[in-house]
């Protein structure tokens, strides 16, 4: 690691945080007081929205997206610094607040960080921001030297006039540069990728140091003077209302300040410490009217979805090319299979939480969010305050995976609590049990896939019918869903050759349909959103078709894969995994490939099954995401996707009994641990060609089907209903 690197300014840590230890009565209270605006030093020069230069030549790069572990902060800084030509060892990071973005008319663009957006949808404007700052700094130096700007060169933040040998650093001209009219962003010519020196390098992350000594402040760690702590308990059955409520005993418990219900659907206990609030919450006597959803269960939901597999009601025909049904009907061989994938919780390590301070005319929150502007909007709507009276202090989430995106349920809860105690900052923290049973679950779906083979074992047609819950419908409860074309639910099944989520296979007769079947369970964006379910269906089915065609699963895929980059990545994974070469006795391989978020992925899993016990030995992953900004972080995302994907395929399911989620904590919602981690090899292709694919989500799509296909190779049986724990020992 390069020790010279100046670590980023964490707004919650340096000048934005004041820690004072007051010892009194044996207690020490730490106050972490974050400020709201940027560190305002009159010596700093804001060259433009993205770049601030300090007199000591350090460059502050402002960062609008959310860093939640995926490394996008470092990658985006590399993009800015590449064009800025500053000294990378003097780069610092500042996180933009939504109120700053609002006040400056969206100067930093979109802040929402979902769908592998970070670099995929910001690369162009952040590089232009860096380039515009460089242009201004060079012009300021040219003015000072009184020479034409064309005669200047710059490297590592030092501007040199070759003719005279004079040089000057960024810090010395930044003040003048800040006064110059900004360059026209659109006409800036960005560097040719072949001249990149920072993009493509595995520089160490900029946000590591304070994660090693406990000094990084997450929202859950925020402490404000006079702050109280709240626990939030919602109806166990979604959509239930409180029937009887008796808080008299809870109110007598030590430290308790108040106990009250919220919108008749939840209650809170507020106390001096969170632990006391939790203890007192156990003394609240509450009963719920569960008549609306209390009889729903996994089996009733499953039956409802199953109906959607054959129904003519509420069907969205997404693709209909040729005549798939007829082609399959007339084929020499027909294959049909039904699959299912369950609800899944995100289970971020940091449970949902938010600190809120509400008064009559303003509100402020301290929140871990993937969607700072959505949080601000949620405050505004809930409290009836104008947007510019709602202040969001954003904290890097302790895991996101889509849970903290576009749905600000926990923000709404926190301000709903805090509005009842005006002027008192209140930290609301959910228990793990609350977090697990009140998630925004990956939508439950089922799929029926049919295909035909001709006498030469060529695919004649394919019919994919999906049935399940819509994220859009859940998030828009008042919208009319009749005939709604929900293209998010058919992610990864697109036929458009320009799409960034194409189905890997082509056949003249293709029918893709979606039957919307909504349940009472909240659904949201889980890592990969709807791709991991759809990729499992398609890739498990392709193996089943290959089996009927008596073809090798890799060769069969290869013969039908149309996209040249996808084909290249499929071939690469097969080569690296020694596909076709003999394996030790009892070890079997499975293969899968997929395209999503602009990125091509393929994976091979090696495993053995002994007396129903599955052991995964090795996973080989190959990825082509176009340009690779930081290979080390791409590798980390691939490994992380394998961990998240394996947890899901082996054990992951949230089941419904009497209307509620049964899984409550990591003891009954098992996730992968270090000792269960197989060896993972990653191969990253950087083919560029103006493609900036995502890396946070795409690779998870091949994990489940590759495991299932390897199990099928080992046992002769395809597991069609996830997770594996319901079929074999894992």
Q: Is the Cβ of residue 596 or residue 630 nearer to another protein in the bound state?
A: 630
Provide the 10 A C-beta neighbour count for residue 678.
16
CA 490/CA 468 separation, integer angstroms: 11
Q: Is the Cβ of residue 128 or residue 205 nearer to another protein in the bound state?
A: 205
Residues in Cβ contact with 604 at an 8 Å cutoff, skipping those fewer than 6 apart: 573, 574, 576, 577, 579, 589, 590, 591, 619, 620, 706
Can the peptide bond before residue 723 be classed as cis, meaning omega within 30 degrees of 0? yes
Cβ atoms of 678 and 444 closer than 8 Å = no
The distance of closest approach from Cβ of residue 408 to another protein in the complex, given in angstroms and rounded to an integer, is: 19
Element (H, E) at 681: strand 679-685
Q: Tokens 């001249």 — which residue?
A: 195
Provide the 10 A C-beta neighbour count for residue 680.
18
DSSP 648: H
Does residue 532 sit in helix, strand or coil? helix
CA 206/CA 81 separation, integer angstroms: 13
Cβ atoms of 342 and 723 closer than 8 Å = yes
The distance of closest approach from Cβ of residue 1 to another protein in the complex, given in angstroms and rounded to an integer, is: 5
Q: What is the DSSP string of 75-126?
A: HHHHHHHHHHT--GGGEEEEEPPHHHHHHTTSTT------TTHHHHTTHHHH
The distance of closest approach from Cβ of residue 514 to another protein in the complex, given in angstroms and rounded to an integer, is: 30
The distance of closest approach from Cβ of residue 273 to another protein in the complex, given in angstroms and rounded to an integer, is: 4
Q: Tokens 């909504």 — which residue?
A: 518
Q: Is the Cβ of residue 339 or residue 644 nearer to another protein in the bound state?
A: 644
The distance of closest approach from Cβ of residue 355 to another protein in the complex, given in angstroms and rounded to an integer, is: 13
The distance of closest approach from Cβ of residue 382 to another protein in the complex, given in angstroms and rounded to an integer, is: 26
Q: Is the Cβ of residue 582 or residue 675 nearer to another protein in the bound state?
A: 675
Q: Is the Cβ of residue 189 or residue 674 nearer to another protein in the bound state?
A: 674
The distance of closest approach from Cβ of residue 349 to another protein in the complex, given in angstroms and rounded to an integer, is: 4
Alpha helix segments (H runs only) across 438-530: 471-475
Residues in Cβ contact with 470 at an 8 Å cutoff, skipping those fewer than 6 apart: 443, 481, 484, 486, 488, 489, 516, 518, 523
The distance of closest approach from Cβ of residue 432 to another protein in the complex, given in angstroms and rounded to an integer, is: 5
Interacting residues with another protein (CB under 8 A): 1, 21, 26-30, 32, 68-71, 204-205, 207-218, 220-221, 223, 229, 254, 273-276, 279, 347-351, 396-401, 429, 431-433, 632, 636, 639-644, 665-667, 671-675, 677, 680
CA 11/CA 16 separation, integer angstroms: 5
The distance of closest approach from Cβ of residue 217 to another protein in the complex, given in angstroms and rounded to an integer, is: 7
Q: Is the Cβ of residue 275 or residue 423 nearer to another protein in the bound state?
A: 275
Measured in whole angstroms, the distance separating CA 358 from the mean position of its chain's CA atoms is: 29
Q: Is the Cβ of residue 137 or residue 649 nearer to another protein in the bound state?
A: 649
Q: Is the Cβ of residue 83 or residue 396 nearer to another protein in the bound state?
A: 396
CA atoms within 13 A on the CB side of 510: 15
CA 322/CA 38 separation, integer angstroms: 58
The distance of closest approach from Cβ of residue 644 to another protein in the complex, given in angstroms and rounded to an integer, is: 6
Backbone angles phi, psi at 546, to 5 degrees: -60, -40
Q: Is the Cβ of residue 479 or residue 666 nearer to another protein in the bound state?
A: 666
Q: Is the Cβ of residue 397 or residue 492 nearer to another protein in the bound state?
A: 397
The distance of closest approach from Cβ of residue 555 to another protein in the complex, given in angstroms and rounded to an integer, is: 31
Tell me the CA distances in angstroms from 635 to 42, 202, 706, one per residue in order: 41, 10, 19
| Angle separating helix axes 123-145 and 170-177, nearest 10 degrees | 100
Q: Is the Cβ of residue 7 or residue 190 nearer to another protein in the bound state?
A: 7
The distance of closest approach from Cβ of residue 675 to another protein in the complex, given in angstroms and rounded to an integer, is: 3
Q: Is the Cβ of residue 70 or residue 293 nearer to another protein in the bound state?
A: 70
Alpha helix segments (H runs only) across 207-297: 274-281
The distance of closest approach from Cβ of residue 556 to another protein in the complex, given in angstroms and rounded to an integer, is: 31
Q: Is the Cβ of residue 174 or residue 354 nearer to another protein in the bound state?
A: 354
CA 165/CA 419 separation, integer angstroms: 64
């Amino acid at each position: 690691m390069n020790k010279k690197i100046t670590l980023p300014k964490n707004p919650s840590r340096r000048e934005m945080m004041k820690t004072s230890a007051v010892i009194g009565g044996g207690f020490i209270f730490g106050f972490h007081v974050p400020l709201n605006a940027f560190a305002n030093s009159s010596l700093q020069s804001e060259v433009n929205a993205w770049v601030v230069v300090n007199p000591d030549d350090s460059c502050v790069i402002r960062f609008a997206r959310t860093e939640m572990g995926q490394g996008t902060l470092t990658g985006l800084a590399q993009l800015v610094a590449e064009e800025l030509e500053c000294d990378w060892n003097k780069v610092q990071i500042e996180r933009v607040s939504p109120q700053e973005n609002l006040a400056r008319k969206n100067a930093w663009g979109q802040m929402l960080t979902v769908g592998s957006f970070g670099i995929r949808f910001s690369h162009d404007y952040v590089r232009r921001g860096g380039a515009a700052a460089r242009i201004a700094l060079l012009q300021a130096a040219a003015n000072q030297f009184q020479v034409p700007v064309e005669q200047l060169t710059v490297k590592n933040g030092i501007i040199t006039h070759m003719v005279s040998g004079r040089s000057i650093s960024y810090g010395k001209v930044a003040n003048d540069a800040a006064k110059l009219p900004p360059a026209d962003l659109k006409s800036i010519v960005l560097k040719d990728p072949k001249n990149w020196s920072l993009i493509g390098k595995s520089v160490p992350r900029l946000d590591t140091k304070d994660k090693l000594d406990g000094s990084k402040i997450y929202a859950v760690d925020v402490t404000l003077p006079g702050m109280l702590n709240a626990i939030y308990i919602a109806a166990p059955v979604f959509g239930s209302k409180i029937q009887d409520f008796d808080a008299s005993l809870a109110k007598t418990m030590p430290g308790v300040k108040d106990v009250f219900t919220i919108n008749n659907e939840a209650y809170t206990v507020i106390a001096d410490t969170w632990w006391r609030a939790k203890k007192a919450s156990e003394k609240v006597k509450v009963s719920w009217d569960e008549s609306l959803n209390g009889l729903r269960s996994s089996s009733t939901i499953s039956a409802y979805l199953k109906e959607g597999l054959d129904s003519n009601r509420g069907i969205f025909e997404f693709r209909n090319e040729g005549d798939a049904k007829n082609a399959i009907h007339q084929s020499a061989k027909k294959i049909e299979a039904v699959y299912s994938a369950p609800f899944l919780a995100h289970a971020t390590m940091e449970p949902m939480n938010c600190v809120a301070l509400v008064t009559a005319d303003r509100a402020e929150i301290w929140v871990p969010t993937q969607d700072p502007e959505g949080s601000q909007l949620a405050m505004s709507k809930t409290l009836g305050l104008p947007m510019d009276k709602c202040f969001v202090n954003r904290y890097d989430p302790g895991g996101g995976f889509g849970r903290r995106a576009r749905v600000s349920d926990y923000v709404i809860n926190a301000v709903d609590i805090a509005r009842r105690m005006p002027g008192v900052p209140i930290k609301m923290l959910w228990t793990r049990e609350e977090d697990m049973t009140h998630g925004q679950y990956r939508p439950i779906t089922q799929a029926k896939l049919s295909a035909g083979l001709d006498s030469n074992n060529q695919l004649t047609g394919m019919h994919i019918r999906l049935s399940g819950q819509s994220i859009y419908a859940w998030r828009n409860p008042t919208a009319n869903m009749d005939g709604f074309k929900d293209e998010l639910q058919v992610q990864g099944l697109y036929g458009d050759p320009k799409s960034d989520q194409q189905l890997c296979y082509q056949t003249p007769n293709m029918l893709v349909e979606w039957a919307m079947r909504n349940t009472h369970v909240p659904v949201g964006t889980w890592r990969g959103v709807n791709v991991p379910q759809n990729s499992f269906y398609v890739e498990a089915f392709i193996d089943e078709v290959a089996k009927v065609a008596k073809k090798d699963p890799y060769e069969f895929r290869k013969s039908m894969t149309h996209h040249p980059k996808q084909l290249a990545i499929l071939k690469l994974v097969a080569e690296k995994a020694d596909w076709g070469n003999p394996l030790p006795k009892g070890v079997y391989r499975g293969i899968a490939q997929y395209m999503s978020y602009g990125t091509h992925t393929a994976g091979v899993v090696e495993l053995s099954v002994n007396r129903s016990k599955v052991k995964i030995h090795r996973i080989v992953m190959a990825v082509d995401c176009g340009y690779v900004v930081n290979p080390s972080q791409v590798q980390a995302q691939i490994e992380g996707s394998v961990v998240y994907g394996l947890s899901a395929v082996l054990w992951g399911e949230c089941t419904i009994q009497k209307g509620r989620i049964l899984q409550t904590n990591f003891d009954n919602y098992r996730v992968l641990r270090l000792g269960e981690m197989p060896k993972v090899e990653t191969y990253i292709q950087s083919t560029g060609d103006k493609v900036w694919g995502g890396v946070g989500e795409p690779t998870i799509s091949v994990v489940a089907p590759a495991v299932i296909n390897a199990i099928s190779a080992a046992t002769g049986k395809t597991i069609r209903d996830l997770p594996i724990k319901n079929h074999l020992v894992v």
